Structure 1
Amino acid sequence: MKLYLIYGGKSAEHEVSLKSAYSIMTILYYEYYTVIPVYITKEGKWLKGETIESKDQVPAKEDLERTDNKIDFNFNEMLEGESVAFPVLHGPNGEDGTIQGLFEVFDIPYVGAGVLTSAVGMDKVVSKRIFSDAGLPILPYKEVYLNEWTIDPETVSDQLEADIGYPMYIKPVNMGSSVGVARADDHMGLIRAMGLAFEYDHRIVVEKGVEVREIEVALLGNEDIHTSVPGELVKHKSFYDYEDKYINDKVIRQVPSDIPDELAKELREMAVEAFRAINGSGVSRVDFFLTEDNEIYINEINTFPGFTQNSMYPRVWAKTGLPYEDLIQEVIQLGIRRHKDKHTANTNRNKDNLTS
């Protein structure tokens, strides 16, 4: 089977994608797949690298984003023979349902969540509304549009101070990996944080800041959903930004989290509820806030979490009993299975129409 490993992308999470793609390339079971690496540049150009048929042929990490050793990619290639797409993309234009819609239109099996799930999971405001409707606890928040802020920033900031209060966390609505996220402890900090967030999106979400532990649960499956042991991002300061997480690697990932078994069970059950609420499939990671009094709040769901060997998603699965290489094989098979199940349903529906 030809596996098109698609990485890079136009989003600010381009570098995270490169790291995930390289890790996957080095661990794949090449006895099952011929890998065609497809690099999407920051400008949106699709380029094909050399075919990989064994671990010995995996390019050096720094070669993944070289363009002089790649050729223009013809998308029609994916329509020929037995193939599956593996979009190792984070953020907008990759994790938000756009590329998933492309694969659906051309009937190409692909790894990860579907169109609706990807779009909802990427949008922090829409997902919060759905979680709230499903009875899952969330922290107080407000949505702010760029035009509101541009016209009257003082009125907006006064309203946020009255409704949310300090500290606040300000985030672009459609972005991940803590890109564009900042904490505000006073008025001037809020002004700076709003400006930063609006560099990445025309909608931002402002959330109430509380002292919490950050607990994460991984999910795997389509209709049959499995959960991992919870992991924890152990913090030595109130907030870790993109550079702390991915450049300086200052985040300590504790697996499993040091929490009581009953609390771990409750978190895993809530993760499944969140996954089902957005019609999840394939892979996801649900991030929770846990207060000192063991109150649980759902922060967000990540429909394509980081896949480096040091990322939380593969680490919690390894601790749960699923090694990294087997995890990659399983997520690919889940994508293929979902595609086959969809075709079976369509075929049965067409038969019913013919006999009615």
Structure 2
Amino acid sequence: MNRIRAAVIGGGANCEHEVSLASATSVAAALSPGKYDVVRLAVAEDGEWHDASGPIGLAAAIGVLTSCDVALPIVHGPRGEDGTLAALLDLAGVRYVGSGVRAGALAMDKWVTKLVAGAIGIATAPGELLTAASSRACRWTGPVVVKPVAAGSSQGVTLVTDPEQLTAALQAALALDERVLVEQVVSGREIDVAVLGDGGFGRTVSPALEVVVDGFFDFDAKYGGGAEFRVPADLAGSDRKALEDAAVAMYDALGCRGVARVDFFLTEAGPVLNEVNTMPGFTAQSQVPRMFAAAGLAYPDLLERLICEALVER
């Protein structure tokens, strides 16, 4: 039996470059050498494409990709997860793991995600969309979370509890994106649910994961060991169903494929959507692999499911 030639793409020209490299390295190592011929590609922070030997340029990278049976674009954030890589792979005629152009673009834009959620009856935190110009008129009204509209890994996200912090928080978010969200603080448990597609024939929902952190779940807490992940989360049956239903509804409304992680705050009034990640962290210790492992689906088997879905005719 011929091995499947699989391109694993990591890196990316954005602030999540190192996180993406770690995810891609873990994914490549988990693919069985007996079944897969793994080809490693990376996008440098300046946008240059590399293979194992060094820089090769975009044209050569496309040549490598078209020689593969499937691609795994493990690139988080802008110019990757936002549909950019999906568009490139679509144009090159390469099958790939994960969501397509539309879902990636919609989910990466946190403001548009809020609009979609509202249209299907899922609550989100009250907030406003600002640009560099309109941010100058932003005034303190109480505790808020300031975040870039299109960034991930909690980069540029600030919990503002004092009016003196507001200007710096806006500047930090605007350094990563030309638009920012200023949202009211939501009081509730942080619960994540992952949804896994099955070639268009069904959905598998992971056990819920609760993020427990002393303070704010920022970049340092996420990657510095300051957060505890409890999976499965201790939930009442009605809360679990509400979270699962909302996660699947968002997955379908955005048109996701592959796996997506849907993050919520669980409040007394029910789930409040935080964001949707169409290419979440993917080391073996990341949230999504942990969630499916808790259901008995091991990390290599999760990757196998994703690849099998990508190889189904679209």
- TM-score past 0.5 threshold: yes
Distance 1:219 1:302 in 2: 11
Equivalent residue, structure 1, for 2:70? 84
Instruction: Count the aligned residue pairs.
Output: 306
Distance 1:77 1:258 in 2: 46
Distance 1:47 1:236 in 2: 40
Distance 1:122 1:269 in 2: 21
Equivalent residue, structure 2, for 1:226? 204
Residue 295 of structure 1 is aligned with which of 245, 260, 270? 270
Task: Map 1:1-356 onto structure 2 (within 5 A).
Answer: 1-49=4-52, 69-72=53-56, 74=60, 75-80=62-67, 82-149=68-135, 153=136, 156-158=137-139, 161=140, 165-221=141-197, 222-223=199-200, 224-237=202-215, 239-246=216-223, 248-291=224-267, 293=268, 295-337=270-312, 340=313, 342=314
Residue 31 of structure 1 aligns to which amino acid in structure 2? G
Q: Is the Cα–Cα contact under 8 Å of residues 215 and 230 in structure 1 kept in the other structure?
A: yes
Query: Over alpha carbons, which structure has the higher Rg?
Result: 1
SS of equivalent to 1:201: coil
Deviation at 1:225, TM superposition (A): 1.1
Percent identity between matched residues is 36
Deviation at 1:295, TM superposition (A): 2.5
Distance 2:143 2:118 in 1: 22
Q: Is the Cα–Cα contact under 8 Å of residues 98 and 115 in structure 1 kept in the other structure?
A: yes
Distance 2:110 2:90 in 1: 24
Question: What RMSD in Å do the two structures reach over aligned CA positions?
Answer: 1.3
Q: Which has the larger strand fraction? A: 2
Q: Is the Cα–Cα contact under 8 Å of residues 29 and 329 in structure 1 kept in the other structure?
A: no
SS of equivalent to 1:272: helix
Distance 2:119 2:238 in 1: 25
TM-score (structure 2 length as normaliser):
0.94
Q: Is the Cα–Cα contact under 8 Å of residues 217 and 271 in structure 1 kept in the other structure?
A: yes
Deviation at 1:72, TM superposition (A): 1.4
Deviation at 1:294, TM superposition (A): 5.3
Residue 21 of structure 1 aligns to which amino acid in structure 2? A
Residue 330 of structure 1 aligns to which amino acid in structure 2? R
Deviation at 1:86, TM superposition (A): 0.7
SS of equivalent to 1:296: strand
User: Per-residue displacement from partner, 1:106-143 (whole Å, max 9, x unpaired)?
Assistant: 11101110100000010000111011001111110100
| Segment of structure 1 superposing worse, 9-18 or 26-35 | 26-35
Unaligned runs of 5+ in 2: none
Unaligned runs of 5+ in 1: 50-68, 343-356
Distance 1:77 1:271 in 2: 36
Q: Which has the larger helix fraction? A: 1
User: Per-residue displacement from partner, 1:52-87 (whole Å, max 9, x unpaired)?
Assistant: xxxxxxxxxxxxxxxxx435151223223x521111
TM-score (structure 1 length as normaliser):
0.83
* Alpha-carbon distance change, 47 to 234 in structure 1, aligned in 2, over 3 angstroms: same
Residue 212 of structure 2 aligns to which amino acid in structure 1? V
Q: Is the Cα–Cα contact under 8 Å of residues 89 and 95 in structure 2 kept in the other structure?
A: yes
Distance 1:146 1:31 in 2: 52
Distance 1:210 1:88 in 2: 30
Q: Is the Cα–Cα contact under 8 Å of residues 167 and 210 in structure 1 kept in the other structure?
A: no
Distance 2:107 2:146 in 1: 18
